[in-house]
């Protein structure tokens, strides 16, 4: 089980509503990129961009996984 907060639930709900409107919404994958399946490169790009926007500087997606595991 994964505990998530109210803000995360709201953001996921908003994403799922937008995702539902896409032509490829019938795919079983949760995260879709601009042109379909989100690739590893797409995940890296999103994490880097969001990290910069959050003031975290240059971060790597594995850092988030390790931080979560240790917390």
- pLDDT tens digit sequence for 19-36: 999 999 998 988 888 888
Residues whose CB falls within 8 Å of the CB of residue 2, separated by 6 or more in sequence, listed in order: none
Flag whether the pTM goes above 0.85.
no
What distance in Å separates the CA atoms of residue 71 and residue 61, rounded to the nearest whole number?
16
Please name which of 47, 41, 42 lies closest in space to residue 63, comparing C-alpha atoms.
Answer: 47
Q: Under a CB-based contact definition with an 8 Å cutoff, are residues 6 and 18 in contact?
A: no
**Domain coordinates in residue numbering, the chain:** 1-37, 39-71
Q: Which pLDDT value is given to residue 17?
A: 95
Which residue has 């019938």 as its token pair? 26
**CA-to-CA distance for 24 and 51, rounded, in angstroms?**
28
């Amino acid at each position: 089980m994964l505990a998530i907060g109210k803000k995360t639930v709201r953001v996921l709900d908003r994403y799922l509503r937008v995702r539902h409107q896409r032509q490829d919404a019938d795919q079983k994958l949760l995260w879709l990129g601009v042109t379909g399946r989100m690739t590893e490169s797409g995940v890296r790009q999103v994490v880097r961009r969001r990290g910069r926007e959050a003031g975290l500087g240059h971060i790597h997606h594995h850092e988030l996984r390790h931080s979560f595991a240790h917390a």
